[in-house]
Amino acid sequence: MRTFPAPLTGTAIALFLLTACGGTGGDAAPASAPPAPASYSPPGPSPDDSPPMTGMSPDGSPGEATPVPEAPVSVAESGIGRILVDGEGRTLYLFEKDKNGKSSCYDACAKAWPPYLTEGKPKAEEGAKENLLSTTARKDGAEQVVYGDWPLYYYQGDEKAGDTSGHDIEEFGAEWYAVGPNGKKITG
């Protein structure tokens, strides 16, 4: 039986596997090409483990909010009109139970409607009004973005940017609405 030096054996095995798995020739896509996305999914953690640029949790799941540096607020077109969105295009909502710019949504409510949190002054972009932006302190000390008189929230039922499934529904004792650029609820 003939034996080969170890480095040569490893090279031979690597070449065999490369050839058996499609190699780099022909019409096959390069091994490093990522698959085409089938649909939008919230961003996951970046290689440096920093949170995504939304107020959702680092894995993009609803139920918890992560503060965003200088939380961006902008205006986007939707099926219900021009609405406020975050930096990733996710719809922002108001809760009619909130009064005087203070949140009344905690515990189970905040899991279903995660607050839009910031680590610093929120930033108006693309149609949003800087003079309507502020923050309010939550019970845990986190700063929630406020637009006009309304603390802003996400809805756990929205799966991607542009969804407005939380608009005009009643939960946790009051109505929820998408917010217009004027700081008022979208009606109709």
DSSP labels, 30-68: PTTPPPPPSS-------TT-PPPSSSB-TT--TT-B--B
Q: Which amino acid is at 76?
A: A
User: What letter does residue 94 receive in the DSSP assignment?
Assistant: E
Tokens, residue 150: 């309304």
> Quick check: helix, strand or coil at residue 9?
helix
Q: Is the dihedral of CA 96, 102, 104, 105 positive or negative?
A: positive
- Predicted pLDDT of residue 148: 97
- Grouping H, G, I as helix, E, B as strand and the rest as coil, residue 140 is coil
Spatial separation of the C-alpha atoms in residues 1 and 24, rounded to whole Å: 33
Identity of residue 11: T
Q: What is the pLDDT along the chain (188 residues), one digit of tens a residue?
A: 444 444 444 444 444 444 444 444 444 444 444 443 333 333 333 334 433 444 454 444 444 678 988 999 999 999 999 999 999 999 999 999 999 999 999 999 999 999 999 999 999 999 999 999 999 999 999 999 999 999 999 999 999 999 999 999 999 999 999 999 999 999 96
According to the model, what pLDDT value does residue 49 have? 41
How far apart are the C-alpha atoms of 28 and 19, rounded to whole Å?
A: 12
Count of CB atoms situated within 10 Å of the CB of 46: 11
Q: Report how far residue 118's alpha carbon sits from residue 93's, in angstroms, rounded to the nearest whole number.
A: 16
Give the C-alpha separation, 130 to 92, whole Å: 16
Sequence ranges of the domains in the chain:
72-178
**pLDDT recorded at residue 9:** 46
What pLDDT score was predicted for residue 64? 64
- pLDDT for 77: 97
